Structure formats: C-alpha cells, structure tokens
Structure 1
C-alpha cells in the first residue's frame, strides 16, 4: 500500500511536468505564430516574396539605320535559337535526326554528334546548337520537326537579329555582336553616342515552386523603349555607283587603292568609298588611312595667305628652285615653267612648289601654325566612325624653316582624305568651320559655327581653284556647264623603312562645283597607279566621272544661268 502511494505520487509529479512542458511548448508556438503573423508580419511577407519573386528582362529592339532617302540599311528582327539538352537524349538516332534536320534547313550546328555524346556522358544539362539562325518564317516549321523531342529547345532570343542590306556600306556601318552590341563602324559609335540601343524593360513577378514565372502575379513592369532610328547623310545609290567606279579604276590603273569621298557644303558625307587590292574588313581608308597629300595641300597655304591679308597682286619668287636651311627645293618636272615671279593665282594654277614656299615665308611660321589649328589640321575630321584620325604634323614651335617649307606644298605631314575634304567644305560654305558627319541634318545650322575664313579669301580661292581646271593642271576634271574647280596633287609614297618608295606615287584631286556657289565637294586619290601617276592625269578624270554620276542621280541641270547672274 505504501509503495502504491509513492508510485502514484511520482506518477502525478511526472504527469504535471509533462503537462507544464506541453503548455509551455504550446505557449512558445502560440507566441511564435503571433510574432510571425502579427508582430513581424510585414518582414516575413517580404522575405517570402523575395524568395519567390524574380526579374525577367525585356530587351528593346535596336533602332534602324536609314540612308538620306529613308532607304533601310540596317534593321533588327525577332529571332530564335536552338539548344540541346544532352541528358534527355534517348539514343544516337535522335542526334542524327536533329543534326540532319538543321543541315537541311541550311543551319550549321555548333556541335557534332561526337561532341553531343561527350556532353551527355559529362551530364551537361544545356548547350547551344545554333544562335539567332531561326526567324519568324521558319520557326513554326522547326517547331513541328522537334515538337516531340524533349532534348531540343527552341528559345526566343531577348534581343533581335541584325540584318544589313547594302554590302557597299558594310565597312562604314559596321556590325553588332550576337547580343546586338556595336563592335565595329557606326554601330559601335552609335552605341555610345546615340539612342539607337533604346532602353530595356522588365517584369518583376512571382515564380512557382518549379521556377516558372506566374504572369498573373506581376508586381512591377517597365515597358521597353525601342531604339531610335538613325538617318545617315549617306546616299546608298550614290555609294554603290561610286564603289563600282572606284573598283573599275583600281583595275584600270593597276593601283593599290582608289578612294572617293563626296560631301555637300554642310559637311554631310554623301558617299565614302575605298577600293583596295588587299581589303581589311571594317577599315575605310578614306577615313582612317593617312598619306602625304602633296600639292593639294597648297590650297591651305594660299587661302591662309589670302585670309591674313596678303595681296593677290603681290608677286613671289617661284623658281625654278630655292634653298632653305641648306636644302634645295625645286618645282615638279611636269613641263610647267615660270617666269620667276608669280602671283598667288598662278602659283596655285600651275602648282609651283617654290612659289608656295615663298608665300609661306611671307605668311610667317607663327601664322602658318595658327592656320593649321584654325582650319582643323590638329583635330579629328569629326565623322562618327571609330577609325577617324588626327593628322600627323607634330609640334612645329621650334622646327626649322625647311620643315615649314615642305609642309607648305604637302610633304612631311600625313593627313586623311577627310581632312582635305573638310578644308574644301569650309571654302564651299563661305568660311564656316564644320565637322564632317555621317548624320543627316546634323550641320544644318552651320552658319552658327565659327567663321574661320573671310569672304574676300573665299571668293579669291574659289576663283584660283577654277583657274586650275580652266588653264592649269586640272583640265581633265571639267564638265561643261558645271564650272568645276579644284586642285591636283602628286605625292611620293612614304616607305615603311623611312624615306620614299621610288616610282610609287599617290595621285589626287579635290574640288567642287559650281565654283561660284559650291554644292558638292569631291575628293579622289589613286595610290600607286602603274604608268601615268600625276593627279591631273589619273585622279582628275575620276573627279570628272564622279560629277557625271552626281548629275545623273540628282538630275542636276547646268549652271549657265546661275553663272551669268
């Protein structure tokens, strides 16, 4: 009996302990529930949402690139890619079917059969077979082929596929990478300096337990803004015509390179063509390859003299030779002779080296340097292309007089075709400094720019350039009724080893028409022609044919009435 009472007492004590522990446990649970669901409700809701909420990027479409006549040069389309899931492949026949189907659709898969099998053995869950090779028109066809295969996935790409329409503009426009980021040419420049890329958007929404988005539970949404279209100053029809002309002349003269640039007086480039024996993709020699310009640079020296106030009637010693710092400089052996003293017009018309040096000495080295800066020869040309360059002139502050002497007639410096085109644009538009551009209407307010040449200098230099064509070295450039003006240039090609390459020349011509109110500026250079090599023999006729091309495309009437007025 006594033992029974002791057992009962111990039992009740244990039951009490279990009871109170259970009550305490229930109280803790109740407290925790209250804490989570009432006291700290917002914190845990937010934490739960963060674990099930994700972001889906919505990529904007890249803007189109148009020519000046709204012809589409580059655009983007929706695109799909094909992926394979190696771990879900049932047998080798399935791989054969997949690869054969792609090849029949002219889609070259990234992987071979053996590579896919290797990925399966390595338990690789996902690999691309081909990216952005499927477009809307063949999506449904591919879907029907692979609908029953769990191992094949057709993926809608977030960014589009870029399409280019004109091969003659490939080097200028450039390309984008697989994700539509510019990597060459204008595409690269526009990525950094325009709104062509647009602004990506996004969904913020809940995902289910398997990681699939629940589109009925969208928390936040930002609509993607497609990129802006860019209208170029380039005329695709003119570009193609001049590409053909340049290639024809490349073969005709057995030359290393033929480049042609056409701009209007606003500095808008209408065509920019380079044909070479050895072409490098996305390099446009007319933009980024520098050379010694030769006598076309005399335009700079003479117009600087006129703008500084030197009288057009003043006579200068013009040859046959002059000694500067112990170096003898002679006129070209081209059959043109001087009386010894010539005015500015005749020095330019007959391209006298010695006369140009005399003009430079009259101008003075300090002013010569000032005009080099003033007229843009220490700057980029301004075109929206990664290959744009600055001329190689260097600091002339402490240079000897002979250095200025050679520069005055285009030796001892290196410039691109665009820099001499830019100088002629300034002369054509009335003296206003402009950057050359590939963007239409960018320079429409050019008269708000700095005026760097006075009206008198402009009027005189245009007259002198007309004289070059009428009675000087550029007669083959003339087109009757269009009053062409310009300057020839013949320069030796610089050797990579230093000095000049014997027997190798660059023949050039730069000009505009009509000379009294220039509308179009044309630059031509032919490098290393075989046989004839003077600018007046080789480059001036190409200028002539380029004028005829412009007349045909733009239906330009002769300027007889304008000339009389």
Structure 2
C-alpha cells in the first residue's frame, strides 16, 4: 500500500507531548504542590459562595425594607424622623447664657445663636480690594477699619460679630479667600432701655460687666437653660421712666431716679435711673459728651443705688418716727419754730415758716426744719445715731447689684450736737434713694426693716426682718404721712381712691469743695399707698430741676417730685390689680384723718389761743392723746435758752 506522509501538525512518531501514555486502569501520581493548590481552590470557592449568599440575604433585606417603606407602609419614615428628633441628645442643642425675665416672665435678656465673620489676614491677597467688596454687601462696616483688620501678619481678626443669613450668603458669594464663618452667641435685650442699669450688660465674650449680669454671672453661665426671674415688673419700669423723664424735661433737670418697692417683702418692683442707655445698642453708650465721668453726664451712673444725696425733708419721717418710738414726743406734742437756730456764723431757718410753736402734725405738713432739729436734739446724739444705723442708714445695702454706695454718715466720735440738729431735717448725711425708700418701707409696714431685693420671691413667702419701731408708731406715722398729702406739701401727688401718703424733700447739692451749690438742688418725694394697708412704697427724684412758668418760679419737691409720684400711682395701680376705693373713700379717709392741731381752750385774757383745732378730731388709730399735764410739758419755752446749740461748728447756710 502506498504510504502517505503524516500531517504537518502530527507529533513525531514514538514521542508524546503533554502526557504520558498509560494503559487503561493505570495509577496516576499527583505531586504534593498540586494537591495544596487544589485544596486552596476549594476553600476559595466555598468562601465565595458564602459571601455571595450573605450579600444576597443583605440586599434582599434592604430590598424588602425599601419595598415596605415605599409601597407597603409609606408613613413609616415620618414616624422614624420623629423618633430621631425625640432621641437627639440634649447636648447637641445646649442653650447659651441663661435668660433673665421680669416677675411676669417677660424677657429682659436672652442669648441667641449668631454667625460671626472673621478673617486670616495672611491669606488675604488684596486687603483694600477685599475690604471694598465686603463693605459693598455689609454697608454697616467702616471701610478704613476693615482694611486695617485685613492687613498685617495676624492670623485672626473679627470682621463682623453678627450676620443675618442673607448677609452670610452675600459674603459667601464674594468668594474671597481668607474669610471664614463661625457659630457664636449674642446677648439680646428685648426691652431696650427698660431696666438698663439693673441688667448692666455683658462684654463681647458674653461675660457680665455690670448689674445683675455681673452679680449673677456664674449662675447665668453654669445653669444653662434656667431663667433668672427678677422682682421687676416691666410695666412699672416704663411708668416710672415716663413720669420721671417728663419732670426732667419740664423742669430742665440733669437726671432723676424712681423706685417702687413691696413694703412687705422688700421686692423692688421698679427702679430707674435717668439718663439711661439702650442695652440693644451698647456701642452708642461709649459716645457720650465731654465730662462723661461726671455723675450728671454719665448714662451708666445709677442714681438709685450709687448716687448719694442729702435726703432733705424726706428724712423728717425718720426723725418723727424715732421721737415717737423713743417717747420724747407724742402726737400732740411739738416744738418752737418761731426763732432761727444760730450756730456760729450760720443759721438754721424754715422755708416760708409759720414762726410759731408747731404740733407734730404741723411739723411734717409744713416741713419745719427748726422743729425737726429740736425734735432730734431732744433724742440726743447717741440715740439719734443708733437709730439711724438701725434703720440701715450707716452701711451699704445688700441688694443684688455690684454697683452700690456706702452712705456718708459721721462716725460715732465725730457725731456731735450739730450733726443731730442738721440730720434731723435731712442735711449733714448723704444716702442713696434706695436707702430712703427702704427705711420708709419699714416705717409704714408695721415697723419691720427688710433688705431690698431684685429677686422675685414665691407668692406668700414670709420674709424675715428686723423690728426697728413699734406697730403703734408705724400706725401713727401712716396717718401723719397721709396728712402731708392731704394738707401739706404733697397735695399735688394725691390720687383719689388710692390714699397716698408721704413726704416731700428739697435739698441743696454739695459741691466738690464741700459747700452747698447755689440753685442746685435735689427734689424728691417718698411715700406709700394705700395708707390704710400699705402695699407699695414709692420714691421719685429729679436732679437739679429749674423753675418754669407753670411752677410760678418754684422748683421744690412739691412742684416737681410729688406730681410725678401721682402720675406713677395713677398708671401702675390698675396694672398691679389695685382698684380705687371710691365707694368707701369717705370712711377710709375718716379713719386716716388727723387734725393739724389738738383741740385746746383759748388762753386767758386777750391773748389768742396757741393752737386752734383745724377741725374736730376723729377717733385716732394707734395714738393715745396725752394728759393735759403732759401736753403742757410739750408747750414751747419761749424764754428758755437753746440747748447746746451755740458751739462753733460750721454748718451750711439754708
């Protein structure tokens, strides 16, 4: 047979490629490395199958959940969102500095989150150009100041402390490298000028700088979310401010003050000092007129707690209460006011005096300096000073403000007869308006001196105090104070149905050299209402009032301060829930009434009676008429020498 050549790809004869020819059923040997390789492949295959199964289950669960959330239960996401909001940790929304409210919950101060703009000047390539672009969207900025802040080698400079969301977006749209935003806080005072001196304010870092903000700084910073509730009532604040400001404007005064206090608890319901400032715009406070460090021009000066003034005739209430309580005078006793008291080359005299013997009601109603000086002299210097200290006039008051003043009172070794004479009618001692109203509150509330406070007390809480006069003396003083308003210098402050009682006081101001200033005075009124059951004490003062046409050339407290007190009472009493007692007005007034003079028979012969009754005396509350012999003992000794009045002691002329 013919033989054909093998195909080109046929293996050579007698040679195998890639395997060894073996007979069927022969054993095949596998090397150890091959076995290891095959085992690894099996493990990998198993793991891949397990992972694929896990992912299949996971994606299946996700798919099922999505199907349930979108098709089966579409409201479930809303419930989930609510659960997320409820379970958000409070730490993520920590409030800032604690808020301050008035007694009714009205916000006086609150901290709000803001956005601040700052820059890294090292990253600003063109400070002048960047400043121009910033001012174009933030016109409240000063171009020169911004340029200076964007220049230099500093790495941090504030540009704006508080941006609105729109301003933030505008700045962000400028795309200026080196400008950054940060979340910050800002103290807001929604009431503006209301209670400015009491609140005080904070610095740019949120730390209290004055007032309650400084006194309670740690509490406000650490007790986040807990409001600080003050005893103030914003409505009373506004009424006080309006009334005092009106008198300052009408009489061209340089300032004034007003305080209203709960006589049973010591809570300060209202306290203003004028001029004041707007806490909402603290930057404007710095731009004050030359002489801003002087009390009269500095709006930050608190006349109510820092200003010390001679109280003038308002102190005659303390003198009368002291004399009644110590028994040196009774309600129908009196003193000679017919002759001036001369001490060295100075003279104590009455302003438009009656030039006769005056009974105690007349002493207060006519505001006699001479009789008040004699009344204090009868008590004596030692007991006089002890009483003043007991009434709180010798030390700083413990009110919740860092800005308080120490009264200017003679030391025990320097308190002489002349001091007793002048302090008896409110000169020779300087105290703050808060001292005056605190003392008068004790006189009318039954004789308990309670420290003033700016913190709201729980309703019905019994406040401890110190008894300084008897209840009987307090009752008599209330009737005498009512007499001053109905028959004396406080008539312009009377408001029908509210039975205001009080005392006016006009005192000359003392200059830097210690001498009295001509035609510069303090006009004040202090009182309480309603006198049959006092609830609130009221103090109004105008600094350096000038006469005007309506006052007929006078600028005394009866023309200036008493009408302001009446305006405050007329406005705030209804706000405080006090309705006028119109139906029982005659009955209440009869119970409070007190004649100016005791009823006495005519003197023998042709001499006129020393004191004719102004009207029949109604039944008196808290005072017992003295026997005839005691009453005669209080009659004036016109030929007697003045007791201990002729020492060569300097006293300011009146």
Classify the TM-score, shorter chain: 0.7 to 0.9
Measured in 2, the distance between the counterparts of 1:348 and 1:533 equals 19
The answer to whether the 8 Å contact 1:110/1:130 transfers is: no
Measured in 2, the distance between the counterparts of 1:478 and 1:559 equals 13
**Tell me, which stretches of 5 or more residues in structure 1 are unaligned?**
1-55, 199-224
5 Å-filtered alignment, 1:125-524, equals 126-134=155-163, 137-138=165-166, 141=169, 144-145=172-173, 150-157=177-184, 160-168=185-193, 169-191=195-217, 195-198=219-222, 226=224, 228-265=226-263, 266-276=265-275, 279-313=297-331, 315-323=333-341, 326=344, 329-334=347-352, 336-340=353-357, 342-441=358-457, 445=461, 447-524=463-540
Q: 1:415 Cα deviation (Å)?
A: 1.1
Residues 113/264 of structure 1: CA separation in 2 closer, same or farther (3 Å cut): closer
Q: Choose the corresponding residue for 1:100, options 129, 133, 136.
A: 133
5 Å-filtered alignment, 1:4-153, equals 61-89=96-124, 91-92=125-126, 96-97=129-130, 100-101=133-134, 103-106=136-139, 108=141, 115=148, 118-119=151-152, 122=153, 124=154, 126-134=155-163, 137-138=165-166, 141=169, 144-145=172-173, 150-153=177-180
The answer to whether the 8 Å contact 2:107/2:190 transfers is: yes
Task: Give deviations 1:168-202, integer Å, cap 9, x for gaps.
Answer: 2223211111111011222111115xx1111xxxx
The answer to whether the 8 Å contact 1:329/1:353 transfers is: no
Residues 84/117 of structure 1: CA separation in 2 closer, same or farther (3 Å cut): closer
Greater fraction of residues in helix: 1
3-state SS in 1 of match to 2:96: coil
Q: 1:139 Cα deviation (Å)?
A: 7.6
Q: 1:436 Cα deviation (Å)?
A: 1.5
3-state SS in 2 of match to 1:507: strand
Q: Which stretch of structure 1 is more off in the superposition, 225-234 or 455-464?
A: 225-234
Measured in 1, the distance between the counterparts of 2:145 and 2:568 equals 51
Q: 1:426 Cα deviation (Å)?
A: 1.2
The answer to whether the 8 Å contact 2:149/2:159 transfers is: no
Q: 1:102 Cα deviation (Å)?
A: 5.4
Measured in 1, the distance between the counterparts of 2:146 and 2:349 equals 72
The answer to whether the 8 Å contact 2:380/2:417 transfers is: no
Under a length normalisation based on structure 1, what TM-score does the superposition of the two structures give? 0.76
Task: Look up the match of 2:625.
Answer: none
Measured in 2, the distance between the counterparts of 1:368 and 1:64 equals 45
Residues 377/444 of structure 1: CA separation in 2 closer, same or farther (3 Å cut): farther
User: May I ask how many residue pairs the two structures share in their alignment?
Assistant: 470
3-state SS in 1 of match to 2:272: strand
Measured in 1, the distance between the counterparts of 2:192 and 2:419 equals 43
Task: Give deviations 1:433-492, integer Å, cap 9, x for gaps.
Answer: 212122211796454222222101100111111111121222112111111100111111
Under a length normalisation based on structure 2, what TM-score does the superposition of the two structures give? 0.66
**Tell me, which stretches of 5 or more residues in structure 2 are unaligned?**
1-90, 276-288, 290-295, 548-553, 589-654
Residues 446/417 of structure 1: CA separation in 2 closer, same or farther (3 Å cut): farther
3-state SS in 2 of match to 1:153: strand
Greater fraction of residues in strand: 1
Q: 1:560 Cα deviation (Å)?
A: 4.7
Q: 1:399 Cα deviation (Å)?
A: 3.0
3-state SS in 2 of match to 1:167: coil
Q: 1:536 Cα deviation (Å)?
A: 1.4
Task: Give deviations 1:268-307, integer Å, cap 9, x for gaps.
Answer: 2222223349542322212211111111111111111122
The answer to whether the 8 Å contact 2:267/2:454 transfers is: yes
Measured in 2, the distance between the counterparts of 1:487 and 1:445 equals 30
Q: Choose the corresponding residue for 2:575, options 546, 549, 553.
A: 553
Measured in 2, the distance between the counterparts of 1:99 and 1:428 equals 66
Q: Which stretch of structure 1 is more off in the superposition, 502-511 or 481-490?
A: 502-511
3-state SS in 1 of match to 2:412: coil
Q: 1:322 Cα deviation (Å)?
A: 4.8
Q: Choose the corresponding residue for 2:558, options 517, 536, 546.
A: 536
Task: Give deviations 1:22-41, integer Å, cap 9, x for gaps.
Answer: xxxxxxxxxxxxxxxxxxxx
